[in-house]
Structure 1
Amino acid sequence: MADKASGQRRELSRRDHDQAVAQLARRHPMLRLAVERWGPPPFWTHPPGFAGLTLAILGQQVSIESAAATFRKLEAAIGEVRPAALLGLDDDGLRALGFSRQKAGYVRGIAGEILAGRLDLDGLAALDDEAARTRLLALRGVGRWTADTYLLFAMRRADAWPSGDIALEMAIAELQGRSEKLATAEADELALAWQPLRAVAARILWCHYLGERGRLADG
């Protein structure tokens, strides 16, 4: 089945989000089960721009707690997370804060692109989801999951879906009563039913995942 909503550019407000949660819960029994069990999910967001993209990169293949802890250390070291301030730290300085060598290289490279005028993250707001994703995917260190995580949290796009997110795949399996997480292709196919509100469905599923593990307050 084709993704029919890739060209949209809908940005969610908190009110939009809360209304969409109720709409999805009415229409989709699995999501309704999660909302009944854990309540409506928080309207989790990240700051737009360089800070939000840094958070998305920090979140690659680690827990949300680990990514958030490293980001807080970065803020403590440089204040507001801006490209010039981050480039004041070398790779060793970033690694001392919890960055891997690879992630340090990624964020330093992106900071350099912004300062050189080759990357305008604010300008992504004028693009539809597919065009914004394509621009992000051109950056070293940004794959599909990172791009869609940025679209979802920092740009608040309504239909962003972080394909390959293990927590989402596990949450779907648990709500379906299955013992193993879904394959990525199966989760992506199932999520098409939630268009054009896949980002809201993702928050519902993350809420379930964290709640089942006693980590909902940390989310």
Structure 2
Amino acid sequence: MGISAEDLAAALDALAARDPKIAAAIARVGYPEPRISDRGYHTLLRAIVGQQVSVASATSMWTKLTSVVGDPPEPVRLLAASDEDLRGAGLSRQKMAYARSLAEEVVSGRIDFDHLPTDDEQAIAELVRIKGIGRWTAEVYLLFAEGRTDVWPAGDLAVQIEAGVILGLAERPSEKRLRELSEAWRPHRGAFAILSWHHRRAGMTSKADQAPV
């Protein structure tokens, strides 16, 4: 499971004690809600289904897919499903390949979600071996499904933008620069990422509230 509300608040308090700019960000928007996903196959399958489509489309596809392969989805049933079945659920040819690749990894035992490497980088490497799972997806999975507190998705555009806002930087930091800056936030970099997403949503909501009618 992901980082609990209590642990998230404690991590952010530790960061706030180190950096008044982070403390100010928490004062502006409050503590974020925990982001928690279930550990295992179906969370990554859902990430594949949701790639490059709207939330509404992803929800519709997921409902159709689970009617074919079970809810929660079973990898053996997915491998047995025909192209016609998966296409009827809205999966493109590429997503079919990705979904089957993930299912094959599970069924073959090549990946065990209950025993991923404890080292974050090794765990990321294990996940990105699967077709359709990139570094960002692996990082978000480890952060939200396993609660790994120091996973740091520095390549996320929203994190880059909002980290720049929180820190008062003149421009959005590059991934390389953000990784350098984040060394000061260990072992709570995951909490800072969650704060960044929360800070961005709060800012966008505030702008919408101020828009002329």
Contact kept? 2:160, 2:178, Cα under 8 Å: yes
**Which stretches in structure 2 are left out of the alignment for 5+ residues?**
207-213
Structure 1 position 102 matched with structure 2 position 94 = yes
Whole-angstrom distance in 2 between the partners of 1:177 and 1:123? 40
- TM-superposed deviation, 1:153: 0.9
Q: Deviations over 1:14-64 (max 9, x none)?
A: 42222112221222233222211111011101110112222444565667x
After TM superposition, the score normalised by the length of structure 1 is 0.77
State the superposition RMSD in angstroms.
Answer: 2.9
Q: Which residue of 2 aligns with 1:211?
A: 202
Q: Which structure 2 residues correspond to residues 33-72 of structure 1 after superposition, within 5 A? A: 33-58=24-49, 65=55, 69=59, 72=62
Pick aligned residue for 1:121 from 113, 121, 132: 113
**Letter of the aligned partner of 1:50 in structure 2?**
Y
| Structure 2 SS opposite 1:162 | coil
Q: Which residue of 1 aligns with 2:124?
A: 133
- Going from structure 1 to structure 2, the CA distance change for 1:67 and 1:138 (only over 3 Å counts) comes to farther
- Going from structure 1 to structure 2, the CA distance change for 1:208 and 1:179 (only over 3 Å counts) comes to same
Contact kept? 1:149, 1:162, Cα under 8 Å: yes
- Going from structure 1 to structure 2, the CA distance change for 1:188 and 1:102 (only over 3 Å counts) comes to farther
- Going from structure 1 to structure 2, the CA distance change for 1:99 and 1:136 (only over 3 Å counts) comes to same
- TM-superposed deviation, 1:101: 3.8
| Structure 2 SS opposite 1:113 | helix
Q: Deviations over 1:82-119 (max 9, x none)?
A: 32344454456545555554333212211112112222
Structure with the larger RCO, 1 or 2 (CA within 8 Å, 6+ apart): 1
Q: How many residues align?
A: 203
Q: How many percent identity over aligned positions? A: 37
Q: Which residue of 1 aligns with 2:15?
A: 24
After TM superposition, the score normalised by the length of structure 2 is 0.79
Contact kept? 2:35, 2:144, Cα under 8 Å: yes
| Structure 2 SS opposite 1:164 | coil
Q: Which residue of 1 aligns with 2:177?
A: 186
Q: Which residue of 1 aligns with 2:210?
A: none
